[in-house]
Amino acid sequence: MIRGAVQDEMDAAEDGRTLVDHVRATLDAARSRGSAPAVTLTYAQSLDGCISAAPGVTTPISNRRSRTFSHRLRAMHDAILVGVNTVLVDDPQLTVREVDGGHPRPVVVDSRLRTPPTARLFRREDARPIVATSETASPRREAELTAAGAEVRRIPLDAHGGVDLARTLEVLAGEGIASLMIEGGAGIITSVLRDRLADQLVLTISPVLLGGVRAVGSLGAATDRRPRLENIHREFVDEDLLVQGELERE
């Protein structure tokens, strides 16, 4: 019921173009500009800009219908990337469950291979998750994760000590991944914005105040280089506000 209602509503926007259409058009334009893969950064936040109520806890933020929308987004991308803390805290499946469509391939950014081999994303039979790690991570952990179904890719660290995300995108492009959805958490969101690696942002804003973990940390950006959305589209899904816009990519 919910799935049908959200799809029907989003397929019937006033100007004939839905938020889904805008997301797809932005992905297409990014690919034609040479983004490989085209990247959508997306997350749900409270009115005060938080993605969880406290460190290390899962906090449901968006309403049921906007979560259905995020499953539509997942179905539009070849792969979906999260940070290792999100795997440790939320243990997400990263599948498409509430709409029709294929599952994106999971990617975990994890410099020390802390991803548990028991994580639910390894229970998927349709795709081998990619774990992007550092060149110095434990070979024993690599063997354990490979046995669990992962494909471990070793990537140099960036200047901030994390796995180099620009290089990670190149590796994913080499795997044939043409579109990537990045779902968080805060550490990854901050790195992606700081390094200007996303072509668009799709934000769900829910009318709740959390006083918890901010989605975006320090960007260290000069005032003239702050990430800024262009060609913005928005839509209410019940009380949640969905905002989509283009980001300038480095």
Ligand X SMILES: NC(=O)c1ccc[n+]([C@@H]2O[C@H](COP(=O)([O-])OP(=O)(O)OC[C@H]3O[C@@H](n4cnc5c(N)ncnc54)[C@H](OP(=O)(O)O)[C@@H]3O)[C@@H](O)[C@H]2O)c1
In the complex, the residues that contact ligand X under the rule CB under 6 A are 43-44, 51-52, 57-58, 61, 82-86, 89-90, 109-112, 114, 158, 162-163, 165, 183-188, 191
Neighbouring C-alpha atoms within 13 Å toward the C-beta of 50: 17
Q: How far is the CB of 192 from ligand X (least distance, A)?
A: 8
Q: Among positive and negative, which fits the CA dihedral 71, 84, 192, 128?
A: negative
Q: How far is the CB of 88 from ligand X (least distance, A)?
A: 8
CB-wise, 37 or 184, nearer to ligand X? 184
CB-wise, 57 or 232, nearer to ligand X? 57
In terms of Cα–Cα distance, which of 174, 136, 170, 173 is closest to 156?
A: 136
Q: How far is the CB of 67 from ligand X (least distance, A)?
A: 10
CB-wise, 13 or 229, nearer to ligand X? 229
Measured in degrees and rounded to the nearest 5, phi and psi for residue 128 equal -90, 120
* CA geometry: angle 1, 16, 34, nearest 5 deg: 100
C-alpha 152/C-alpha 108 separation (Å) is: 10
CB-wise, 92 or 149, nearer to ligand X? 92
Q: How far is the CB of 188 from ligand X (least distance, A)?
A: 4
